Amino acid sequence: MGSRRRPKASLIAGKQLEGIKCGKYDVCGKLPSERMLASHYCVSRETVCSAIDMLERIGCVCKRPGAGTFLSKDKTLA
């Protein structure tokens, strides 16, 4: 079951990373909510959460409980 979600989560993480790199989000801006992303990609929130976790592990975003997910201040994407 987990292996089935991983490719989707990787795909979503990749698409969000592309958006970050091409300036879709303002520097230190807020990403769409997990619910919005899940609806947009037609996947579960758990899958979106896994994608965001991947982005957080590489330092592109940081989660703020109760506030959302934001671009990381200390990570410059080239």
Q: Yes or no: is domain 2-71 CATH 1.10.10.10?
A: yes
Domain residue spans in the chain?
2-71
What does the pLDDT read at residue 74? Answer: 62
Give the Å distances, CA to CA, from 13 to 9, 22, 56, 60: 6, 14, 10, 10
Q: Which pLDDT belongs to residue 5?
A: 46
> Average pLDDT per run of 10 along the chain, which is 78 residues long?
68 94 81 95 96 95 93 65
Instruction: Look at residues 4, 7, 5, 9 and name the one whose alpha carbon lies nearest to residue 55.
Output: 9
